Chain A
Amino acid sequence: MDFHLTKEQEMVRKMYREFAETEVKPLAEEIDEEERFPMETVEKMAKLGMMGIYFPKEYGGAGGDVLSYAMCVEELAKVCGTTAVIVSAHTSLCCAPIFEHGTEEQKKKYLPDLLSGKKIGAFGLTEPNAGTDASGQQTTAVLEGDHYVLNGSKCFITNGTVAETFVVFAMTDKKLGNHGISAFIVEKSFPGFSVGKHEKKMGIRGSSTCDLIFEDCIVPKENLLGQEGKGFKIAMMTLDGGRIGIAAQALGLGEGAINEAVKYTQERVQFKKRLSQFQNTQFQLADMHTRMQAAQYLVYAAAMKKQNHENYSMDAAMAKLFAAESASDVTRRAVQLFGGYGYTREYPVERMMRDAKITEIYEGTSEVQRMVISSHLGVK
């Protein structure tokens, strides 16, 4: 596989890196500490086309490619896991399913505002009793004349409090199990829709995570996304793409922790030597970098396959599994290299370690990724 970046990809990486260092890094500690959604950063990213990177210009996208999107999430995550997931959830979980499964009318109605970043998007699949077992949806949608009536609730919804457009899943026919799930485009302003409690989390604390509540929520019939009963398939396809985003987030977190550790171990002196002069430090950093480099290859390969319209489901699962577990391992080792200082909030590595943990859980746990990979191998 050719891993040479195109000249456009080299340029966008340079831009993302400058933007992340100048605009995102200075806020990372504050938004974590205050659990504050960085709306000012989203507005800046929107102006630069970062909220619609790989979508065509005709719908208001930036006309880039999937790898340049993954690199954006990666570069943001190097300095701030929160900002990275805001872009990832918006792009992969809301813009992508509307672009890939929406009618021309739906695309024209919703994509320009989403891709230009004027509105933020979110995705509602998880429920209190339907997490990894997404087929256990209890939210229902009943067709009544020209609209559906939705009842139920969703939980752990990234971007939930700030989003204005949601892709939501509900049972239209319980008897059919997975085949009875349908997808809908729901606007925040629809009657009967409300946002519930905000979760207090271990990491990515600046991101908004909340419940969505549907009480006789009226959704126009034309907001059915794809066909009735095809919602589960849309959800799984969407999560395949989402995994590239989360894998890129994990990748960035691990790389960011290595950058911090390389810098710190060259400054910190113990036993009259810089930490970087100890073989343990050198070997730790060598292993950490090797793991993240391998993760990068997996993430980029999955992104390029999606771009080329190849089947990338297993690649995305492998990329997320490996990048997430590597990020958790690498950020934990970075804290260890920092010693006591690493455990304090004075340095960013403890935040990176907290942020990395979620990448093993959301958009499919590591265990789910193993299920996906083994099913592709035909192991039953």
Chain B
Amino acid sequence: MKIIVCVKQVPDTSGKVAVNPDGTLNRASMAAITNPDDLNAVEAALVLKEQTGAEVIVVSMGPPPAEGMLREVMARGVDRAILVSAREFGGSDTYATSQILAAAIDKIGVDKDDIVMCGRQAIDGDTAQVGPQIAEKLGLPQVSYAAEIVKEGDTITVKRMLEDGYMTIKVKTPCLITCIKELNTPRYMSVGGIYECWSKPYEIFDYNTLKDHPFIDKDTIGLSGSPTNILTSFTPPQKGAGMMLEGADKATCDKLAGILAAKHMI
């Protein structure tokens, strides 16, 4: 059994977001981190590895310095990593990216009892499109927004977290699951893991590795093959801080009712 996890190196948007004059993100001036939701996917894979002995493989598309991120993920317990990296792939939008990643995953091979996992979305683009598009390309059933994953035999029960409730779905392997932060708390790298990760298997899939795959067509990969045109990038406005009322007594309830009434919500 294999679990293939897609991870992405993203600029750290928790600090100051730098934007180029043309509206695109100034990635060079921002620290690079592993996309937070992807770490939830890695953690979920590692938990399944502990339960089943599965091999966990991470795949990322990006420039060569992304190796550092992949080694860090291996220091958490991932068995091997593949970086998909080529000039031909640069500038890909989500459509092109998912084609390339699907080709890479197909090359690794998705067998009957395998699982592909992704984070829900990357914090730089916030599209949540790549995971589902990979599933479509590979013809895999997909379950998005996983907040709980339980595997029994070849059946996986996933609790999907939606804005207004939960949805529980059963799916058979092979399948693709996208993970959200409520799923788990990613583990730290361990000291032993850090000293081991540099000798774990690390491969680069370049253009030549994937060029003969049916998904790889010069017209549908890279910047020129991407149907998306970015008009502008912006930081979404911060939501206002919420107000917490604690207590189950009448005074608290009255206070809550008063606030809601003042806002004409009740």
Contact = CB atoms under 8 A, between A and B. Distances in A.
B189 A11 contact: yes
Among B71, B189, B191, B197, max chain A CB count under 10 A is at B191
Interface stretch (A56-64, A173-181, A362-370): A56-64
B196 interface: yes
Interface string B176-199: 000000000000111111111110
Contacts of B190: 15, 47-49, 62
Nearest to A48: B190
Contact of A57 (B71, B188, B192, B198): B192
A71 to B, nearest CB: 11
B75 A11 contact: yes
A53 B191 contact: yes
Interface string B66-81: 0010011001000000
Contacts of A50: 191
Interface residues of B, number: 15
A48 B198 contact: no
Most buried by A among B71, B188, B192, B194: B194
Nearest to B197: A11
A68 interface: yes
Contacts of A14: 72, 189
B191 A64 contact: yes
A309 interface: no
A18 interface: yes
Contacts of B192: 49, 57, 62-64
A49 B196 CA distance: 12
A49 B188 contact: no
A360 to B, nearest CB: 29
A18 B188 contact: yes
A250 to B, nearest CB: 22
Nearest to A63: B195
Contacts of B194: 8, 11-12, 15, 64
Contacts of A19: 188
Nearest to B196: A63
Nearest to B194: A11
B75 to A, nearest CB: 6
Interface residues of A, number: 19
Contacts of B191: 12, 15, 48-50, 53, 62-64, 68, 72
Interface in A158-199: none
A7 interface: yes
Contacts of A48: 188-191
Contacts of A53: 191
A15 B188 contact: yes
Nearest to A52: B191
A62 to B, nearest CB: 4
A27 B145 CA distance: 33
Contacts of A49: 190-193
Interface string B42-64: 00000000000000000000000
Contacts of B188: 15, 18-19, 48
A8 B71 CA distance: 10
B195 A8 contact: yes
Nearest to A65: B195
Nearest to A13: B194
Interface in A42-95: 47-50, 53, 57, 62-64, 68, 72
Interface string A1-24: 000000110011011001100000
Contacts of A12: 189, 191, 194
Contacts of B71: 7, 11
A351 to B, nearest CB: 25
Nearest to A54: B191
A64 B68 CA distance: 19
A7 B198 contact: yes
Contacts of A18: 188
Interface in A242-267: none
> Which of A14, A48, A57 has most B Cβ within 10 Å?
A48
A15 B75 CA distance: 10
A53 B192 CA distance: 8
Nearest to B193: A49
Nearest to A57: B192
A194 B157 CA distance: 52
A68 B191 CA distance: 9
A62 B189 CA distance: 12
Contacts of B193: 49
B32 to A, nearest CB: 12
B185 to A, nearest CB: 10
B8 to A, nearest CB: 19
A68 B188 CA distance: 16
A62 B198 contact: no
B198 A64 contact: no
A68 B192 CA distance: 11
Nearest to A11: B194
Nearest to A19: B188
Interface-central residue, A8, A19, A47, by most chain B CB under 10 Å: A8
Contacts of A62: 190-192, 195
Contacts of B196: 63
Contacts of B72: 11, 14
Interface in B151-208: 188-198
B261 to A, nearest CB: 37
Given A12-B194, A49-B191, 12 more contacts: A7-B71, A7-B198, A8-B195, A11-B72, A11-B194, A15-B75, A15-B189, A15-B191, A49-B190, A50-B191, A64-B194, A68-B191
Across chains A and B, which 9 residue pairs bring their CB atoms closest together, nearest first?
Answer: A49-B191, A62-B191, A62-B192, A49-B192, A15-B189, A48-B190, A63-B195, A11-B194, A49-B190
Interface of A: 7-8, 11-12, 14-15, 18-19, 47-50, 53, 57, 62-64, 68, 72
7 contacts: A11-B189, A48-B188, A48-B191, A49-B190, A62-B192, A64-B191, A68-B191
